[in-house]
Amino acid sequence: MSFRINTNTQSALALSSLNKTTSEIGSRQLRLATGSRINSAADDSAGFTISNKLQATTRGQAQALGNIGDAKSMLTVAEGALGSTMDILQTMKEKAVQAGNSSMGDEERAAIQSQVAALGAEVSDILGGANFNGTKLFTNDAAGTDLSFQVGDKSGDTFSTTIGRTSVSSLGIGTVATTTTPAADAVATVSSVSDDGDGTAITTGGFTLGGAYSGTEDKVIEFTVDGSDLTYQDEDGRTQTISIADANNEAKGGFEGVTIEVDTNATSGDKFTLNLTAKTEAVTEGDFTSSLDLTSDSGVADALTTIDAAISSISRTASSLGDVQNRLDFKAQNLETSKTNYEAANSRIADADFAKEQMEIVKLQILQQTGSAMFAQSNASGQSVLSFF
């Protein structure tokens, strides 16, 4: 048996064990405080990665559920407008039937004609004013209104639908006068293009972009192009492209007022710099004009045919919206189920088991108390060396 006091090995071991126990208690208490088994990557690096991926999925799916709700709200607004339009069309048919009666005089038919024209104007206002967050829901364009919704957390998890062409013109009950006025110019930026420096003409689409040039002054050429990128053939027969970076392709009538400035000296590396201005047009709607004539028997017959066709068109559009809403309901149900399952999977990985953690804390607290006692005893054992003196 030996006695050494400079290095108390027993005390060091007891202290190490006590520190480990105390650290573990702190970790368990943090889990109980946060409810999470994994509070840092060090707790479980693989589980940390998997949990973050699952959380990203569930949060994305939660937002997708919100998107579906917004989509249904949008379609509900459209359906409401169609419902009001249907009510008006049915009233218009009622009035048209009333006008097709020889007991009606010219003044009576004129009054009915006026009422039907007012109803048609209201249909125009309803369809033209139906929008959701600035998106017009009904249009006179043949392509209709295209809508796309992100209904999942992955790229490509989209749902697209189209509200068919719906307007007083497409229904045949009237026309709306439109006027077009120039809007503010939109400036587009265009990249520079290098010339080979020999001063030969560069031609595209029948327009000459440059030509032989010399002298001390810049040459400026003006011409008009459409919204696509410009291409030309260089002297070696290679196709070169002038890329339009911000072309504002929604501009009506394409681009005009394009200016090309050529550098003074015809040396290699000269640049053609294009400054392009897009001309846009603003379209405003004017007064409604009825296409229905209820002042004669033949006009009434034609009006009834037109109104019946309009009612059928509105019914088909409303029915298609109902089908879309049903599909969105099913997508929402499936997404809710998927989200719940992902959350359950994440819970098994990342959430703390309170019963287990509390049980471990009780055990560790006992070990902490015994460790403290053993540490005190190991410190006292070295004092027995004083008996030698």
The pTM (predicted TM-score) of the whole model is 0.67
- The mean-pLDDT minimum among 133-137, 169-173, 323-327, 368-372 falls in 368-372
Residue 238's pLDDT is: 58
Q: pLDDT tens-digit profile of 63-81?
A: 999 999 999 999 999 999 9
Rounded to the nearest 5 degrees, what angle is found at the Cα of 334, between the Cα atoms of 328 and 335?
85
Q: pLDDT tens-digit profile of 223-247?
A: 334 445 555 444 455 555 554 443 3
Helices (H), the chain: 9-34, 45-99, 106-129, 168-171, 297-350, 354-381
Phi-psi region at 254: left, alpha or beta (left = phi > 0; alpha = psi -120 to 50): left
Residue 245: what are its φ and ψ, rounded to 5°? -75, -35
Q: Per-residue pLDDT for 104 more than 70? A: yes
Q: pLDDT tens-digit profile of 141-187?
A: 888 999 999 999 999 999 999 999 999 999 999 999 887 665 444 44
Write out the two tokens for 298.
């033949």
* Confidence band for 113, pLDDT divided at 50, 70 and 90: very high
Residue 358's pLDDT is: 87
* Confidence band for 17, pLDDT divided at 50, 70 and 90: confident
Can you list the pairs that 326-329 forms with residues at least 24 positions away whose Cβ atoms lie under 8 Å? Answer: 327/159, 328/68, 328/71, 328/72, 328/75, 328/149, 328/151, 328/159, 329/72
Fold of 53-183+284-341: f41 fragment of flagellin, N-terminal domain (1.20.1330)
* Confidence band for 264, pLDDT divided at 50, 70 and 90: very low
**219-225 vs 239-242, strand pairing mode:** unpaired
Q: Per-residue pLDDT for 329 more than 90? A: yes
**193-194 vs 271-278, strand pairing mode:** antiparallel
* Confidence band for 282, pLDDT divided at 50, 70 and 90: low
Can you list the pairs that 54-61 forms with residues at least 24 positions away whose Cβ atoms lie under 8 Å? Answer: 54/342, 54/343, 54/345, 54/346, 54/349, 55/346, 56/153, 57/153, 57/342, 58/339, 58/342, 58/343, 58/346, 59/153, 60/152, 60/153, 60/154, 61/152, 61/153, 61/335, 61/338, 61/339, 61/342
Residue 375's pLDDT is: 77
- Domain ranges for the chain, please list them: 53-183+284-341, 186-279
